[in-house]
Amino acid sequence: MAALGYLEILDGKGAVSERIAVDSFPLTIGRAYGNQVIVDDPFVCPLHLKIFQDEQGRLLASDLDSVNGIYSASSKDRVAQLVLQSGSQFRIGHTTLRYVSVDHPLAPTQVDRAVKASPLASPLASPYAAAVAGVVLVLLLCLDAYLSSVERVSFARIIGEPWITVSMLATWAGMWALASRIIVSRFNFAAHVTIACLALLTISALGVVAEWTEFFLPRVPMLWIAGLFGYGAVLAALLYGHLGAASPLRRRSRLWAAGAISLVVVGTSAISDYAARSKFSTVMAFTGVVKPIDAAWLPATSVDEFFAGAEKIKKELDKLAQKAKSSQP
């Protein structure tokens, strides 16, 4: 005979710990072995309640003069009788039960993120992408090592400097891969390598853009802005990517996690930056990036404007001196 429904005994978190098929009514529930549903709970009577259908076809749970009674999960009150629908929960003693009919509606099937990655993640996860990203990064690092050296360069030095970065990157990706193996049972090493390479490439690009911006427009403290907010954004993207490959978290949770961590890092560095700025120092802190371009292209202020701007320095210094004077005994 096909089952009409199921009685489910739930644990404290609401998960099903035991499921008993119901193929006919009435049925009795209690601690005694003569019941159709036996509940191993000292606060439940040997013959605690009965479930039956009334003339109208409703399913009713009725207390059989038990010591501790029946409690409706929705109203939390002791009831003598309870109308059961598919999904109704009630408590006897310390045990929560749920009745579901065979045609109880189900939640839609969840996508397994670890198995079926998002469309963005799939090309990143390919080992070819990792290889390409790695090669591009190594080439760029070598180029940077060459361009930033002002002495005669040796081949060993051009290779040696990027080598440290590359091995650190590999270690970083390896640690994420290990975490992935533990959490989602897959290493996803290629994906982690690609993500880390992309982040590093973005940071380099950001640095170059910031330097040129600061060179053209020295009024805008672009290096400082990029150093604080640009790197914070790259860090958030990096963590978002790694979490995607290393955990079954949904997109929104990953965004939150990555955003929160990056915000903490940016906040900490902003505080230490502020502390360093407000601490007394005899160092002249200025950025003066110069770049090899035809001077005709360069926007420039006139000599008059330059010295008119210096008045601002004077005002600021007057204020600082006034403050220092008033703080002295």
Partner 1 sequence: MTRLLTSIALLLWFALAAVGTARAQTIPGTTPEIFKQFSEHVVKIEVVETGSSAKAATGTGFFADASGRIVTNYHVISKLVHSPERYRIDVIDVAGATTVATVLGVDVVFDLAVLRTNRQPKGHLVFESKAVAQGTRLYSLGHPRDLGLSIVEGTHNGLLKHTLYPKVHFTGSLNPGMSGGPTLTQAGKVVGINVATEGNQISFLVPAERAMILLDKTAKGETPPAASFLADVGRQIFDNQARYLAGMFDAKTPRVALAPYDLPTKPTEFFRCWADAVRRKELPYVSVTHDCSTDDYIFVSSEQSLGIVRFYHQLLSTSELNPVRFFTLYSGQFQGGNAAMFGNEEEVTPFRCQTRNVATAHGKLKGVLCARQYVKLPALYDAVFRAATLGSRNAGLVSTLSLSGVSFDNVQNLSRRYMENIKWQR
Give the footprint of partner 1 on this chain (CB under 8 A).
146-152, 216, 218-219, 280-295, 298-303, 305-307, 309-310, 312-314, 316-318, 320-321, 324-325, 328
Spatial distance between the Cα atoms of 90 and 48, rounded to a whole number of angstroms: 13
Spatial distance between the Cα atoms of 290 and 298, rounded to a whole number of angstroms: 11
Smallest gap from residue 119 Cβ to partner 1 (A): 39
Smallest gap from residue 243 Cβ to partner 1 (A): 37
Of 157 and 291, which CB lies nearer to partner 1 in the complex structure? 291
User: Quick check: 207 and 235 in contact, CB under 8 A?
Assistant: no
Residue 26 CB partners (closer than 8 Å, separation 6+):
50, 51, 52, 53
Of 14 and 299, which CB lies nearer to partner 1 in the complex structure? 299
Of 6 and 215, which CB lies nearer to partner 1 in the complex structure? 215
Of 56 and 281, which CB lies nearer to partner 1 in the complex structure? 281
Strands 59-63 and 49-53: antiparallel
User: Quick check: 210 and 230 in contact, CB under 8 A?
Assistant: yes
Residue 50 has φ and ψ, to the nearest 5°, of -130, 140
Smallest gap from residue 130 Cβ to partner 1 (A): 29
Smallest gap from residue 325 Cβ to partner 1 (A): 6
191-205 burial, b if ≥16 CB within 10 A, otherwise e?
bbbbbbbbbbbbbee
Of 59 and 145, which CB lies nearer to partner 1 in the complex structure? 145
Smallest gap from residue 216 Cβ to partner 1 (A): 8
User: Quick check: 22 and 4 in contact, CB under 8 A?
Assistant: yes
